[in-house]
A and B are shown apart, each in its own frame.
Chain A
Amino acid sequence: MKKILAVIMSLSMLLAATACSNDSNSSKSESKSDSQNSGGTSNTGSDEYQLKESASLKVWASQEDQEIVKEMVESFKKKYPDTTWNIEFGVVSEADAKSEVLKDTEAAADVFAFASDQLGELQSAGALYKITKNKDRIIADNIDASINASKVGDDLYAYPSSSDTYFMYYDKKYLSDEDVKSLETILSKNLGGDVVNFSFDMDNGWYNAGFFFAAGAKLFGDDGTDPTKCDFNNEKGLLAAKYLISLANNSKFKLTDDDITKADFADRKLGATISGSWNAEDIKKSLGDDFGVTKLPTVTFEDGTTTNLGSMANFKLIGINSQTKSPMEAMALADYLTSYECQKIRFEKRSFAPTNKELAGDKDALSSNPVVAAAAEQAQYATLQSTIPQMGNFWTPAEAFGAAIVNKEITVDNVQERLDKLVESILSTLT
């Protein structure tokens, strides 16, 4: 119990710490924005939303979230009974939000959920509404890292709703709690038959970046905001790439994706895998009592250093469409959807780790959920996904790099040259 408690605290504390180190000016800039904002809010002197008599809004959320979002909206309507609400729902996942919103911003939802790596591009395209109502309270309520992921410069452009990273699921039938502490131990086991020891989605930048982070390489500079910097090709990056190459050549490793992972666990053909909370329900169902979940294991690189595997963390945010006809009402709704109550519902029903400080500090509640606990424990090794527009350039080269390793096109002989190419592609600009 005590252990979990410590772990939970680390979620908020350490994410906050990374955030601080991310932006050495953060305290300064925050105070600046405070003063700016207090000038604004003092005019009205009210935190209450001034709502129209009736408002029509459209909300986008992913398929899995539809049910709970509808529930939340019902209670939202009860909270503001003086307004006649006409709220529509649309299914657009966090991952697709950017391309759908940018296709036709006017037709997109007023309030939509999106992943924090899209923030930069959405904001620079002018698709996000600047949030000035109750800005200080929102900043105060949520952990600093999530607020940093919602800001461009000093301006707030989204409401944080949950944090997201990946960790490890394993089958207790094959691996013990001790085994899963190190990737080398996992791979050294002989599980027999056609059971694969370890799988992960190597040709996906979201996952394979974890190895680079573990080695100490940095994407877009120390604070993740410099579009001209990426040192995946230095000696640390080289260690990570070589580790990936040897992993790809290991017959106990398998390339996977969400679908295959679920099928493998359902058929009990897999020892351990890297995945996130979105697969928790399915895997739990397949493994039953043998369901195991924990932080990522440690890896030992070629030079003998042993570190915990890193991960990429991002936040699910809720944004407001810049073209909305009812910005005040949309802000009220988005604020509510990311409030303490709603984050609690997401945590309870969907195992989403909250960003709300109060909820993230509520150790009793959080300790009850092993998936969230694993995520929290992993959080200390997580690197926050960059929110600058250049991030959009990361995914395809990283995917190509992973695929080339799996295809054995990248070997120890040409890895340095390919790493240089990877960095060149990530940092490339078209003009």
Chain B
Amino acid sequence: MTSIDFFFLPWYKKVFIKLGNFFKALGKGLFGFILAIPKGIWMLIKNIGLFFLGLGKTFARGDFATKISFVIMGFGSIVRKQFIKGLLFLSVEIGYFYYMVKTGWNDMLGLKSLGTKQQGWAFDEELGIEILQDGDNSMKFLLFGILSVMVTIAFVTFWRISISSAYETQLIKKKGGKVNNFIDDVKDFFDQKLYKTLLFLPITGVLLFTILPLIYMISIAFTNYDSVHQPPGNLFSWVGIKNFKVMFSSNSVLGSTFFPILIWTIIWAVVATFGNYILGMLLAMLINKKDIKFKAFWRTIFVLSIAVPQFVSLLLMRNLLNNDGAINMLLLDLGLITEKIRFLSDPLLAKFTIVLVNFWVGIPYSMLITTGILMNIPADLYESARIDGASPYVMFKKITLPYMLFVTAPYLITQFIGNLNNFNIIYLLSGGGPSNLDYYQAGHTDLLVTWLYKLTVNSKDYNYASTIGIIVFVLSAVFSLITYRNSKSYNNEEEFQ
């Protein structure tokens, strides 16, 4: 079908086709996501294979010093007078073995059982009281077990590097070339290998404060770490995918809470993202109008609301919108209403209130961002549209919106994912309330993330919280894959340089 055909279709058919396309893309995205998993596993196996293959080759071709380097890291370097480098490698090895002997090995073993010794009591003759006998702490077993695995992987990487380095110097020596001394190496790290230098600290930070906690939390989803298995008094253990089964079965309390909240989360993310975006754009266009004076003044007024930190403005709003809050008092005083409006305590109204407050928070941002881009839309587009007699509405729909969507697609994706995980506004404004009798530990306005938070903080059901976290991740990943991979800025990265 050509675009002209499409243009002449009745509106409902258009909607139908658009929906069809959407689901096609969704299916494709899901499919891509599911395909990505075996692909990733295959890549991993392949890389491990290549790793050993390379290792074997190096060992076969290496001379005596290189071969010794397999056991004593840095030996090859020291023999070839790269003392500092060699000693650095050696100290990494010593450090690693020290760590493993001291705690690492036990930590790694503990990962399997997650602890066996229960807390207990023993009578102390001298004091005349029962004294606590510490048991194993499953949570620490898990965390430090993962840490020891990560340290081991890092060590193996270093080990591989040290062997390569020994082999390379061997080759250079053989050719009669000059072996880099330490200063040369350092210089290299600021030139050819600059990327290693620049990435070292950021990656270490991410490994420690993002990846390690993340692996830990993902692991929790496969254990029974809930309110009845809390350390230090109790042990928890691996349960496989049981938590996911519980979450997805509609007859469990969790399942019957999960699906309604999931639906509301998606509705919320769509309304919040596109509502803010379109309304912000309209506001920007309004201020941009030629005959509006004091443009900077109007913009500043809206920007002011960004400048007040969100937790201040939202906590304030929570009080203003209370049944006895200032807004109801004002409306009563003015005689506009006779009964208090239950902004945040009526289930349906609360949802609207939250969406509206989110407009208050979000519109200034999108106004600010779209203002500049709006001015960059080629003028002749409007000119020719005007000659064709297009109405402002048609111009907005056919020119402004497509152009803007095209340019700001990455921004919209981040906004959408941000809204899926929009914790602040729900938590600060309604706290998820009003509570819902049909839900487990959740209220009518809870998003998956706020429910996740409640499960961790209030009811200490860490395993289910993690399960939800993983589901939220899959949701965001699928959505991003659909849109981001198709966006130009991803595919044509090199074009603009």
Contacts and interface: CB of A to CB of B under 8 A. Distances in A.
Interface of A: 40-41, 43-44, 46, 50, 99, 102, 105, 121, 123-127, 129-130, 132-133, 203, 255, 260, 263, 322-323, 327-328, 331, 389, 392, 396-397, 399-401, 403-404, 406-407, 409, 418, 421-422, 425, 428, 430-431
Nearest to A135: B129
A40 B234 CA distance: 26
Interface in B232-274: 232-234, 246, 252-254
B125 A43 contact: yes
A369 B119 CA distance: 45
Contacts of A425: 253, 437, 440
Interface stretch (B182-190, B192-200, B342-350, B369-377): B342-350
Contacts of A133: 127-129
Nearest to B332: A194
B345 A403 contact: yes
B168 interface: no
Nearest to A39: B123
Interface residues of B, number: 49
21 contacts: A40-B130, A43-B125, A43-B128, A99-B457, A124-B234, A126-B230, A130-B130, A130-B132, A203-B434, A263-B324, A322-B132, A327-B131, A327-B132, A389-B228, A399-B435, A400-B437, A404-B434, A407-B345, A421-B437, A422-B437, A431-B246
A102 B253 contact: no
Contacts of A407: 342, 345-347, 434
B231 interface: yes
B437 A418 contact: yes
Q: Is the interface of A mostly helix, strand, loop or mixed?
A: helix
Given A403-B434, A407-B434, A102 B128 contact: no
A409 to B, nearest CB: 7
A43 B129 CA distance: 10
Contact of B231 (A43, A125, A132): A125
Given A105-B232, A400-B434, A400-B443, A430 B342 contact: no
B157 interface: no
Contacts of B439: 400
A389 B458 CA distance: 13
Contacts of A431: 224, 226, 246
A396 B433 CA distance: 10
B123 A428 contact: no
B359 interface: no
Contact of B129 (A105, A331, A400, A406): A331
A56 B129 CA distance: 19
B121 interface: yes
Contacts of B127: 44, 50, 133, 328
A126 B119 contact: yes
B80 interface: no
Given A50-B126, A124-B230, 14 more contacts: A102-B230, A123-B233, A126-B135, A126-B230, A132-B130, A328-B129, A331-B129, A397-B435, A400-B443, A421-B437, A422-B437, A428-B440, A430-B440, A430-B461
Contacts of B226: 430-431
Contact of B253 (A105, A123, A126, A430): A430
Interface in B105-137: 119, 121, 123, 125-132, 135
